[in-house]
């Protein structure tokens, strides 16, 4: 298994280097002359490896060939040590996720950590709620996001929210709770990261949603949902259902075309499956060949 991964990863990196030149290959990995990217890795994909061996986690991320990464915790390192490890492995931090309650109760701490990490953007990937996500949850989250977003903007940073599927419950008048969240957040301070799996899983048309709010999408999570899996609005499914990009339910050519049209800035592969080390090189290969 390890030998297979290394051979595939080497082939992917070699192809990228030949196509784009050695100096900038890491920042062009996963892109082509139609799909421009840029593509990075959400380091949460390697959470199991990082939890056991931080150095090995960084090495695998580097071996995949990425230049850009998204932050998902320091795994016991100080921020200074974490940043040094990223530099050692030629990984450029773009954004990251922090806990909702930290944004709510101490957004200044998020600013401090984000600046120390050197990221451009700081985001939230889950809004705490009991039972179904409802309008009260939307109202509170919008208030937190607007306040935190302004503070981040005043400090030269961008704020984003990563959808998780539970936001697409109906809100009346043909709208969803996600629609309300977009409406109630200030576009000057609050942007969004589409997680395409958590958009398709609850039955949404990802390309249509991108075009519905063309000025609000900043970042993108590249994931694919196993064919035959029935979705819902729970915000949860087995990690076994994360499959190689282009082999699942996401109509990727259509979705990436829309994402590129609306100006998504960065795309991150997030593979939560136990097969992540084998699947990521295959997903890179798919992205380097996707056309529309």
What range defines the domain where residue 90 resides? 2-287
What is the three-state SS of the chain? CHHHHHHHHHHHHHHHHHHHCCCCHHHCCCCCCCCCCCEEEEHHHHHHHHHHCHHHHHHHHHHHCCCEEEECCCCCCCHHHHHHHHHHCCCEEEEEECCHHHHHHCHHHHHHHHHHHCCCEEEECCCCCCCCCCHHHHHHHHHHHHHHHHHHHHCCCEEEEECCCHHHCEEECCEEHHHHHHHHCCCCCCEEEEECHHHHCCCCCHHHHHHHCCCCEEEEEECCECCCCCCCCCCCCCHHHECCCCCCCCCHHHHHHHHHHHCCCEEEECCCCCCHHHHHHHHHHHHCCCCC
Mean pLDDT computed over 236-257: 98
Q: Of 4-8, 70-74, 175-179, 190-194, which range is least confident?
A: 4-8
In a domain, 188, yes or no: yes
Q: What is the pLDDT of residue 195?
A: 98
In a domain, 153, yes or no: yes
Q: What is the pLDDT of residue 24?
A: 75
pLDDT of 139 strictly over 70: yes
In a domain, 228, yes or no: yes
Mean pLDDT computed over 124-149: 98
In a domain, 82, yes or no: yes
Number of domains into which the chain is organized:
1
In a domain, 65, yes or no: yes
User: Whole-number mean pLDDT of the chain?
Assistant: 93
In a domain, 292, yes or no: no
Mean pLDDT computed over 181-210: 98
pLDDT of 17 strictly over 60: no
Q: What's the CATH number where 243 sits?
A: 3.20.20.150
In a domain, 23, yes or no: yes
């Amino acid at each position: 298994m390890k030998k297979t991964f290394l051979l595939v990863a080497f082939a992917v990196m070699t192809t990228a280097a030949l196509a784009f030149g050695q100096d900038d290959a890491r920042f062009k990995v996963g892109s082509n002359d139609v799909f421009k990217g840029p593509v990075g890795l959400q380091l949460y994909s390697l959470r199991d490896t990082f939890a056991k061996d931080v150095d090995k986690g960084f090495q695998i991320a580097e071996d995949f060939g990425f230049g850009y990464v998204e932050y998902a915790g320091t795994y016991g390192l100080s921020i200074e040590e974490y940043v040094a490890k990223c530099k050692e492995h030629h990984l450029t931090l773009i954004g990251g996720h922090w806990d909702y309650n930290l944004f709510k109760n101490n957004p200044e701490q998020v600013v401090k950590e984000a600046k120390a990490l050197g990221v451009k953007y700081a985001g939230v990937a889950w809004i705490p709620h009991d039972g179904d996500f409802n309008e009260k949850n939307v109202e509170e989250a919008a208030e937190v996001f607007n306040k935190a977003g302004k503070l981040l903007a005043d400090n030269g940073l961008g704020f984003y929210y990563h959808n998780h599927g539970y936001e697409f419950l109906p809100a009346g008048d043909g709208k969803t709770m996600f629609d309300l969240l977009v409406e109630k957040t200030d576009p000057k301070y609050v942007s969004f990261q589409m997680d395409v799996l958590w958009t398709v899983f609850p039955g949404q048309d990802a390309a249509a949603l991108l075009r519905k709010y063309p000025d609000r999408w900043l970042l993108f999570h590249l994931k694919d949902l196993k064919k035959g899996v029935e979705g819902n609005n729970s915000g949860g499914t087995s990690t076994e259902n994360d499959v190689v990009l282009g082999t699942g339910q996401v109509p990727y050519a259509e979705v990436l075309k829309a994402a590129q049209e609306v100006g998504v800035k960065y795309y991150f592969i997030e593979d939560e499956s136990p097969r992540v080390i084998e699947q990521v090189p295959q997903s890179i290969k798919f992205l380097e060949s996707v056309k529309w």
